[in-house]
């Protein structure tokens, strides 16, 4: 195991994060905080509680989760796209590193950053809306699992992308709408039919539901189903990635 190599990539990626602290930490935290102020503190106080949870607190888990999804995908995709774009990928491919070690370095850093964003966002949210976490350990474990799977997904996006434009497409055109319609602001049964049924095809619904359950014990779908869905997504991303490295697709000529 080339641990020095993994550490080198990890440190390189973290240095990039800290070099662009405004963009990588402040931006997601501020944009999420704006939601807390507008929907949580301002409008939320006029809305009735949902299943006994004040509206301001109700939206916290979903918004934190969305922020993590976006951050994980964009950070991990940038991490691998940049060396491809700059041409420095050659050095990384020529290093005595296995595919697993390479991914470990990049994903490790991307996950760390996602968790940092989550932690700061949660702390900031506390300034605007009072909330509590019933199952902090499960919440953390779930957050970690989500961060890992979506970082892997982002890594794949970065490998596939041929331009900066394509790199932005997945977060903005796919993840963003799925996220907003994923039940961060409402429970699925608040939707009229057929939208409630259609919403169940949105994978984000399962993630938001389980994460909210770890906060308040309320969920749209059973936690077991959510966990299984997340684990399935994680397995899918890992196997595609393993295939990419085995064949060298989009990575090696």
Which parts of 132-151 interact with another protein (CB under 8 A)? none
Residue of the chain from 18, 30, 90, 173 that contacts another protein (CB under 8 A):
90
CB of 18 to another protein, least distance (A): 12
Question: How far is 182 from 197, CA to CA, in rounded Å?
Answer: 12
In 130-169, which positions are buried (b, 16+ CB within 10 angstroms) versus exposed (e)?
ebeeeeeebbeebbebbbbbbbbbbbbbbbbbeeeeebee
In angstroms, how far is CA 170 from the centroid of its own chain? 13
Given CA atoms 211, 77, 236, 8 in this order, what sign does their dihedral have? negative
> Residue 91, interface with another protein (CB under 8 A)?
yes
- Decide if 138 contacts 224 (C-beta within 8 A): no
Question: At its nearest, how many Å lie between another protein and the CB of residue 83?
Answer: 8
DSSP notation for 131-198: ---S-HHHHHHHHHHHHHHHHHHHHHHHHH-SSHHHHHHIIIIIIHHHHHTTTSSS-GGGSPTTHHHH
Minimum CB distance to another protein smaller for 13 or for 71: 13
Binding to another protein, residues 13-72 (CB under 8 A): 15-16, 19
Residue from 48, 94, 137, 165 binding another protein (CB under 8 A): 94
Measured from the CB atom, is 100 or 180 closer to another protein?
Answer: 100
- The answer to whether the bond into 205 is cis (omega within 30° of 0) is no
Binder of another protein out of 136, 217, 232, 248 (CB under 8 A): 248
List the one residue from 69, 80, 97, 146 that touches another protein (CB under 8 A). 97
The residue from 21, 38, 93, 174 that contacts another protein (CB under 8 A) is 93
Position 246 contacts another protein (CB under 8 A):
no
Q: Copy the structure tokens of residue 150.
A: 């979506």
Q: Does 229 bind another protein (CB under 8 A)?
A: no
In the set 22, 48, 86, 193, which binds another protein (CB under 8 A)?
Answer: 86
Residues in touch with another protein (CB under 8 A)? 2, 4-5, 7-9, 11-12, 15-16, 19, 83, 86-88, 90-98, 248, 252-253
């Amino acid at each position: 195991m080339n641990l020095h190599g993994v550490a080198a990539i990890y440190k390189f990626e973290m240095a990039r994060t800290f070099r662009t602290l405004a963009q990588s930490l402040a931006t997601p935290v501020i944009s999420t905080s704006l939601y807390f102020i507008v929907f949580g503190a301002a409008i939320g106080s006029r809305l009735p509680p949902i299943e006994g949870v004040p509206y301001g607190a109700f939206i916290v888990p979903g918004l934190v989760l969305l922020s993590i999804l976006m951050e994980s995908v964009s950070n991990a995709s940038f991490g691998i796209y940049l060396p491809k774009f700059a041409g420095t990928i050659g050095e990384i491919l020529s290093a005595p590193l296995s595919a697993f070690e390479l991914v470990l370095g990049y994903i490790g850093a991307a996950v760390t950053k996602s968790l940092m964003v989550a932690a700061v966002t949660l702390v900031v949210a506390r300034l605007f809306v009072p909330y509590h976490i019933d199952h902090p350990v499960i919440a953390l474990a779930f957050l970690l699992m989500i961060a890992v799977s979506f970082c892997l997904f982002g890594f794949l996006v970065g490998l596939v992308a041929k331009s900066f434009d394509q790199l932005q497409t997945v977060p903005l055109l796919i993840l963003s709408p799925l996220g907003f319609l994923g039940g961060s602001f409402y429970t699925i049964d608040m939707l009229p039919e057929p939208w409630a049924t259609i919403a169940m095809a949105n994978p984000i619904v399962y993630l938001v539901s389980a994460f909210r359950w770890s906060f308040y014990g309320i969920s749209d779908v059973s936690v077991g189903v959510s966990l299984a869905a997340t684990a399935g997504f994680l397995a899918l991303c890992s196997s595609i990635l393993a295939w990419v490295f085995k064949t060298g697709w989009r990575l090696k000529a």
